[in-house]
């Protein structure tokens, strides 16, 4: 059973807060899912795994989705860490 099965994003954040899983484990799962499905879908053009790991190591900001990885639609927007 995968870490994400049966949980929405709020449920995953609760697992991180409770210590049942780490943000790194969720990121591992997200990257594995992208690697497994993206060759057929060709939907993800860039994965910023190293940047995500550094953000986790620096300490993620609090919030309802704390520790949950997410995708950003490429609309030519600049993305910068806010913490």
Half-sphere CA count of 5, side-chain side, radius 13 A:
2
pLDDT per residue, tens digit, the chain (83 aa), is 576 789 999 999 999 999 999 999 999 999 999 999 999 999 998 899 999 999 999 999 999 999 999 988 776 666 665 55
pTM recorded for the entire structure: 0.85
Closest CA to 56 of 11, 16, 15: 16
Beta strands in 1-83 (DSSP E): none
CA distances from 66 to 1, 45, 50, 72 (A): 22, 24, 18, 16
């Amino acid at each position: 059973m995968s870490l994400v099965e049966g949980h929405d994003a709020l449920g995953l954040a609760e697992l991180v807060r409770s210590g049942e899983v780490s943000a790194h484990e969720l990121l591992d799962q997200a990257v594995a899912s992208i690697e497994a499905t993206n060759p057929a879908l060709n939907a993800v053009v860039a994965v910023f795994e190293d940047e995500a790991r550094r953000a986790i190591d620096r300490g993620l900001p609090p919030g309802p989705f704390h520790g949950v990885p997410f995708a950003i639609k490429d609309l030519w927007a600049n993305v910068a860490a806010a913490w």
